[in-house]
Amino acid sequence: MYVIVGLGNPGRQYQHTRHNVGFDAIDILSDKLSIRVDKIKYKAVIGEGNYKGEKIMLVKPQTYMNLSGESVMKICNYYNLKMENLIVIYDDIDTDFGKLRIRKKGSAGTHNGMRNIIYLLQKDDFPRVRIGIGKPERGDLKDFVLRRFGKEESDIISDCLERAAQSVLSIIEEGADKAMNQFNG
């Protein structure tokens, strides 16, 4: 079983903001895999299905970003999930805009949602797909990540989200190392 978690904030006001690209990637995977993400369970909205013989759970935590680990921990504990079968997709200001960075493990960096997940799981050895959302030249970081993408950014981020969804499928099919070689950069 693979659990694919996209990080974001619940609520219409946060839809399609920089901080919600994890949710957007889950929506793309939902379409690709024909998995409806509409059940409320584990403090999340989830959908379950299959992909190439593997059971898949798509997850959008509904706890707000800084408490994302509550949902992830409940799922991991319930299914006694192997860490290599947990894939987290999230926004990253430290990755160049429109680029992907896949890692098999590591720190949370500046991302509070990932910090909470790592803190509650007491593990950091799970694959993650970081989506580069850019960095503010000046001003408040919170305002920046809660902003929607501009017209000139929309095509680039749409392509990046598509590649993020493909990279998750690659991790499932071929493993994180091959996905890293194919999608990083």
Residue 48 sits in a domain of what CATH number?
3.40.50.1470
Q: Helix/strand/coil (H, E, C) string of 124-168?
A: CCCCEEEEECCCCCCCCHHHHHCCECCHHHHHHHHHHHHHHHHHH
pLDDT at residue 141 is higher than 90: no
Among residues 18, 19, 111, 128, the one annotated as catalytic is 19
The mean per-residue pLDDT over the stretch 116-145 comes to 89
Determine the angle formed by the axes of helices 21-33 and 151-174, rounding to 10 degrees.
60
For residue 137, what are the domain limits?
2-183
pTM, entire model: 0.94
Letter for the amino acid at 83?
M
pLDDT at residue 138 is higher than 90: no
Round to whole Å and give the CA distance between 59 and 132.
Answer: 20
Strands 2-6 and 128-132 come out as unpaired
Residue 19 known to be catalytic: yes
> Total structural domains in the chain?
1
pLDDT score for 85: 96
pLDDT at residue 98 is higher than 80: yes
Could you tell me which residue, 136 or 33, shows the higher pLDDT?
33
